[in-house]
Amino acid sequence: MANIVQFENVGLRYGSGQETLSDVSFTLSTGAFYFLTGASGAGKTSLLKLLYLSQRPTRGSIKLFGEDAVTLPRARLPGFRRRIGVVFQDFRLVPHLSAYDNIALPLRVSGVPESDVEAPVREMLAWVGLSDRVEAKPPTLSGGEQQRVAIARAVIGRPEILVADEPTGNVDPDMAERLLHLFDSLNRLGTTVVVATHDFHLLGRIQNAHMMRLDKGRLLDPTGSLRFPPPNAPSGNPE
């Protein structure tokens, strides 16, 4: 299976302090599902920022889609970012836009004709179970509903990579299971999925998922070789 992401000896430092990430090396295979785990402050969000190109590393090499992402010209960044869907921990929905318009935003920014926007947006709304909330604005939506709008917005452009930062941190266990099912469905369509979470109850819910662990900015399982068995397998707890 081809690699879609490759990190080699990556370090990240904010200002003049200690490195947030140190000597991080790993590869992500095209079409695979990964959990990124670690305690609060381990560096999960920082690693994800490097993945979706909102931050450049202090040192080391990053390749995305077979190209050097560190030296990528700024003019090419928007095109690369359109190939990556991001679900932020704090949703980042536009508060004055409806659920429909929030989901449509990536298509409109990309210049998709308005006549080609409605069908995929309504498909996404149905996919996340929000067909009855088309005109609702974020302040009137529950946390779980906002998260589903954020997921739909992240995947509307059929990204090659989906990155989700603690996507179940603000929802109840039942909703967490539903959201994870959405990620699994997208992964089955061929998208490489990376979910950062500290919720160990979710680990093992995705058949053949890989796990990478961060501890104080260092990757403890750089190959992501630990696979979880199916949820009903007799081995039980993946830990």
CATH number at residue 223: 3.40.50.300
Q: What is the mean pLDDT of residues 104-108?
A: 94
Residue 211: in which H helix or E strand, if any? strand 210-215
Report how many domains make up the chain: 1
Asked if the structure places residue 184 within a domain, the reply is: no
**pLDDT over threshold 70, residue 167:** yes
**pLDDT over threshold 50, residue 12:** yes
Proportion of the chain above pLDDT 90, given as a percent? 61
Tell how strand 19-29 and strand 3-13 pair up: antiparallel
The Cα 193–Cα 209 span in angstroms is 10
Look up residue 72 and give its two tokens. 């990528």
**pLDDT over threshold 80, residue 125:** yes
> Cα–Cα–Cα angle for 106, 110, 115, nearest 5°?
85
At 229, the pLDDT band (50, 70, 90 cuts) reads: very low
Per-residue pLDDT, 59: 96
Q: What does pTM read for this prediction?
A: 0.86
Asked if the structure places residue 101 within a domain, the reply is: no
Per DSSP, what are the bridge partners of residue 67? Answer: 64
**pLDDT over threshold 80, residue 32:** yes
Asked if the structure places residue 44 within a domain, the reply is: yes
Which amino acid belongs to residue 100?
A: Y
150: left (phi over 0), alpha (psi -120 to 50) or beta: alpha
**pLDDT over threshold 80, residue 171:** no
Asked if the structure places residue 25 within a domain, the reply is: yes
Q: What is the mean pLDDT of residues 6-16?
A: 94
Domain of 203, in residue numbers? 1-72+161-169+191-231
Asked if the structure places residue 146 within a domain, the reply is: no
The Cα 200–Cα 112 span in angstroms is 39
Q: What is the mean pLDDT of residues 17-44?
A: 92
At 89, the pLDDT band (50, 70, 90 cuts) reads: confident
At 90, the pLDDT band (50, 70, 90 cuts) reads: confident
Per-residue pLDDT, 69: 94
Per-residue pLDDT, 224: 55
Per-residue pLDDT, 180: 86
Cα 55 to Cα 25, 46, 70: the distances in Å are 17, 8, 10
84 and 161 in contact (C-beta within 8 Å)? Answer: yes
Look up residue 175 and give its two tokens. 């909703």
pLDDT in tens, 203-212: 777 888 899 9
Where is average pLDDT lowest: 94-98, 144-148, 170-174?
170-174
Asked if the structure places residue 56 within a domain, the reply is: yes
Alpha helices in 37-134 (DSSP H): 44-51, 77-81, 99-109, 118-127
At 226, the pLDDT band (50, 70, 90 cuts) reads: low
Per-residue pLDDT, 239: 36
Asked if the structure places residue 50 within a domain, the reply is: yes
| DSSP 8-class letter at 229 | P
Residue (of 52, 146, 163) closest to 102 by Cα position = 146
> Cα–Cα–Cα angle for 71, 74, 76, nearest 5°?
95
The CA-based dihedral angle spanning residues 116, 75, 27, 52, taken in that order and rounded to the nearest 10 degrees: -60
Lay out the sheet containing 19-29: strands in order across.
19-29, 3-13, 59-64, 67-68
**pLDDT over threshold 50, residue 236:** no
Higher pLDDT, 181 or 52: 52
**pLDDT over threshold 70, residue 232:** no
Asked if the structure places residue 200 within a domain, the reply is: yes
Residue (of 34, 42, 37, 36) closest to 4 by Cα position = 34
Per DSSP, what are the bridge partners of residue 100? Answer: none
